[in-house]
């Protein structure tokens, strides 16, 4: 899409998780895509009009590219091999079609006015990107210093870290040897400096996410995770004789080893 003009938009239904909006199609057609980027779990498509198209895939959303192919003659009905759950189609001037498919319709798309993305209700309040060089123990220490919640709850707050989900929080805490029930502020000294365990956690978060990206083509299976969904299994940490336990925190399953995670 980058550098291409959006020739036509097919909104094959009026809503996804939320309504697309009466002007959704007209604000997109004829615009050139200036850039495509990611912020946490959101895709941001910057348009020549200054608008930004914010996209969230939800739980089952995905994109595929069809073509490039020749379009129908002017005035002819459009015929394409689109599937039942192909809800939004971006037909590009190159002849390619970028198709959004979402069987469960938990994804959404909406347009944000020029200059308003930093104040957007979804994107504007997000914390730092965990894979950015600027994401360090010092940065996270400032956010955790006065947190009385558990470290699991703190890491789940998108205002603290952008885009870190439940599974990878569980995995990172195990790698760092930290109990998910531990109070977040105990990882910071009274002066506000990060304790060594917080540095270990930052390293673990980055490792877990990089491993996940490297294995993104593989389905969620038993060999993908160390502790997630492994209740009752022996702890995989060398020398540990504990077993993985499941608890519920803030309505989400947490898996951890009560022996080696302190």
Q: pLDDT per residue over 54-87, tens digit each?
A: 999 998 999 999 987 555 555 444 455 789 999 9
Q: For the chain, give every domain's residue range.
A: 6-119, 137-256
Mean per-residue pLDDT of the chain: 92
What would the two tokens of residue 115 be?
Answer: 């200059």
Q: Is the pTM of this model over 0.85?
A: no
Q: Is 130 helix (H, G, I), strand (E, B) or coil?
A: coil
Residue 76: the pLDDT is 44
89-128 residues labelled b (16+ CB within 10 A) or e (exposed) = bbbbeeebbbbbbbeebebbbbbbeeeebeebebbeebbb
CA distance 162 to 208: 15
pLDDT score at 33: 98
Among 16-30, 114-128, 228-242, the least confident range: 114-128
Cα separation, 112 vs 102, whole angstroms: 22
Region 217-234: what's the mean pLDDT?
82
**Residue 253 corresponds to which tokens in the numbers above?**
């399953």
Using the predicted structure, report yes or no on whether residue 217 has a pLDDT greater than 60: yes
Give the right CATH number for 6-119 from 3.20.190.10, 3.40.50.2300, 3.40.1280.10, 3.30.365.10.
3.20.190.10
Residue showing tokens 């998910």: 180
| DSSP 8-state assignment for residue 235 | P
Nearest to 143 by CA among 197, 196, 198: 198
What pLDDT does 221 receive? 56
Helix axis angle, 196-214 to 137-144, nearest 10°: 110
Residue 135, pLDDT above cutoff 50: yes
- Choice among 145-149, 213-217, 227-231 with the minimum mean pLDDT: 213-217
Cβ neighbors of 213 (< 8 A, separation 6 or more) are none
Q: How confident is the model at residue 192 (pLDDT cuts 50, 70, 90)?
A: very high
Q: How far is Cα of residue 118 from the mean position of the Cα atoms in its chain?
A: 17
> How many residues are there in the chain?
262
- Which option is the CATH number for 137-256: 1.10.287.70, 3.10.20.30, 1.20.1250.20, 1.10.8.50? 1.10.8.50
């Amino acid at each position: 899409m980058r550098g291409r003009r959006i020739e036509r938009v097919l909104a094959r239904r009026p809503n996804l998780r939320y309504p697309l909006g009466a002007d959704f199609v007209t604000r997109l057609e004829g615009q050139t895509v200036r850039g495509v980027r990611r912020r946490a779990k959101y895709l941001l498509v910057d348009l020549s009009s200054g608008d930004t198209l914010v996209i969230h895939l939800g739980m089952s959303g995905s994109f595929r590219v069809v073509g490039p192919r020749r379009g129908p003659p002017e005035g002819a009905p459009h015929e394409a091999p689109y599937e039942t759950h192909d809800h939004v189609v971006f037909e590009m001037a190159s002849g390619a079609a970028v198709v959004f498919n979402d069987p469960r319709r938990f994804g959404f798309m909406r347009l944000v006015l020029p200059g308003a993305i930093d104040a957007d209700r979804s994107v504007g309040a997000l914390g730092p990107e965990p894979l950015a060089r600027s994401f360090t123990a010092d940065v996270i220490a400032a956010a955790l210093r006065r947190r009385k919640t558990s470290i699991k709850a703190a890491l789940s707050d998108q205002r603290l870290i952008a885009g870190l989900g439940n599974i990878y929080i569980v995995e990172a805490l195990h790698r760092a040897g930290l109990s998910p029930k531990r109070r977040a502020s105990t990882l910071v000294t009274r002066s506000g400096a990060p304790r060594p365990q917080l540095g270990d956690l930052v390293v673990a978060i980055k490792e877990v996410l990089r491993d996940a990206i490297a294995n993104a083509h593989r389905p969620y299976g038993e060999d993908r995770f160390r502790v997630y969904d492994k209740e009752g299994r022996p702890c995989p940490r060398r020398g540990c004789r504990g077993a993985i336990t499941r608890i519920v925190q803030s309505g989400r399953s947490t898996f951890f080893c009560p022996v080696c995670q302190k």
